[in-house]
Chain A
């Protein structure tokens, strides 16, 4: 574990050194990520000028949903997104992955943490502000047990998002060009931003089970704002464990079929 954090530190340090060489890149990179959140929040404000509730959620509840989802995806984006993306787009195709296989460090982890984008963390305060602003304007207090359950599910949500990302990039072992696969988790964020209640029941069930994105955004916030039902908590923990295991097994299976790239 110590080795993992030491390596993460060096990778972050190297990322900062690299990014400082084109410092404008940091600002615009951070702004890029911020833009998506700003646009989403702007859209929510526009939508709520036309209605009081969507799927039974008021504006503040929806803002909490979006901001908590953006905090998860921003941390993910600063740490694990680029590495996993490059794995699918570049490393397997060019054979760069060979070097990860010959080092005494888990290649799946190594690939995931290989390309941090530290500047994305600059956006976290903005989303935390929106989160707290919305909580303050809710007009009701939140019991401590809800908060505790929310933090537990928040961690599960991050791990589940990572597992989903891995599952979408692992086909790169077989599929030569998989740019769209890489963008699945990004595109699905568009669905995660809104309460599951606006979608048809079939779609909501599918997106809570087969592709459990609602376990990442919707369930943790539902537990925070409404009743922290035990079945939601157990379900989220179980599905997180299941998808992490699936991702790991799938990765190992992919490695067995890895053919490297011609010189």
Chain B
């Protein structure tokens, strides 16, 4: 079932400035989202990738009804998000990594009490949802602490719990792991994966961290300059834009480096390692030659870094 459907969704930000020399208004238009078509099935976990200013967050805000689109159509759970019907709003959740909705001077539990009333949750459901999430995230001691006295990682856990108290069908996450340490980010990823699988919650995630996308998303959508430039599985992305393998050779001695220099492949040196990018159909021949010349323990064969691939896509587009 298609839970999210957009057709030529567009958002243009217009700005007028008065030109004192010519005594007239000058209008500039910035197309933040440019005719994006997208369909998302229930239960999917989608990663939105793109450089800064690509339009990812603007797109997310249109899907959650925060921003009114300039043109095009969006349907989320069968509703027009901008109409902001309560039945729609009860089924979505929103987390923004760089903003918080919890009361700064109060404990998280005081904010949760308010959310309970806003979402019309009965006491039993509320307590059950809360204790379940608190248990999984190990947040028992955090509930009574004032938000302003929490670290960033603790605050993000509380924010995510706040957005899931009412068990939404769709969760929008805008850079939820930004600024978090490795351990906190990992904990949040595992929790989100669990929510997606167990609660069948459709999750749309924007992030700059490839670790988030690789760990959580089978499908990625790449947006650049407001346009969708890729929509498919992450594996397909790698296949399409990086159909080669990377062979790394550690070159500890001068003779190793001389041997590497004489190899007749497309190669480069980086931090004392020789790197050769090989199309997969030619891998066998290349690997045979390399294993003949260098010790096996100094050779590593891997796929290219996802981040490199994504950067390549941005540059090409």
Contacts and interface: CB of A to CB of B under 8 A. Distances in A.
Is there direct touching of A and B in the complex, by C-beta distance under 8 Å? yes
Interface of A: 3, 6-7, 10-11, 14, 17-18, 21, 94-96, 98-99, 101-105, 110, 255-260, 262-263
14 contacts: A7-B118, A14-B103, A17-B110, A95-B96, A98-B96, A98-B99, A102-B93, A104-B86, A104-B90, A104-B119, A104-B120, A259-B13, A263-B98, A263-B99
Given A257-B68, A259-B67, A104 B101 contact: no
Given A260-B61, A260-B67, A263-B96, A3 B110 contact: no
Contacts of B68: 255-258
A10 B117 contact: yes
Interface string B58-82: 1001001111100000000000000
Interface string B99-117: 1010101100011011001
B118 A98 contact: no
Nearest to A101: B66
Contacts of A14: 103, 106, 110-111, 113-114
Contact of B61 (A98, A256, A257): A98
Contacts of B111: 14
A17 B175 CA distance: 31
Given A14-B106, A258-B66, A101 B84 contact: yes
Contacts of A98: 61, 64, 66, 94, 96, 99
Contacts of B113: 10, 14
A6 B13 CA distance: 38
B10 interface: no
A96 to B, nearest CB: 6
B139 interface: no
Contacts of A110: 118
B64 A102 contact: yes
A222 B113 CA distance: 45
A96 B175 CA distance: 16
Given A14-B110, A95-B96, A104 B66 contact: no
A239 B22 CA distance: 42
Given A18-B105, A98-B94, A7 B117 contact: yes
Contacts of A17: 106, 110
B89 interface: yes
Contacts of B117: 3, 6-7, 10
Closest 10 CB pairs of A and B: A104-B86, A104-B89, A99-B101, A18-B105, A102-B94, A6-B117, A101-B66, A98-B66, A104-B90, A256-B68
A102 B65 contact: yes
B43 interface: no
Contacts of B67: 258-260
A11 B113 CA distance: 10
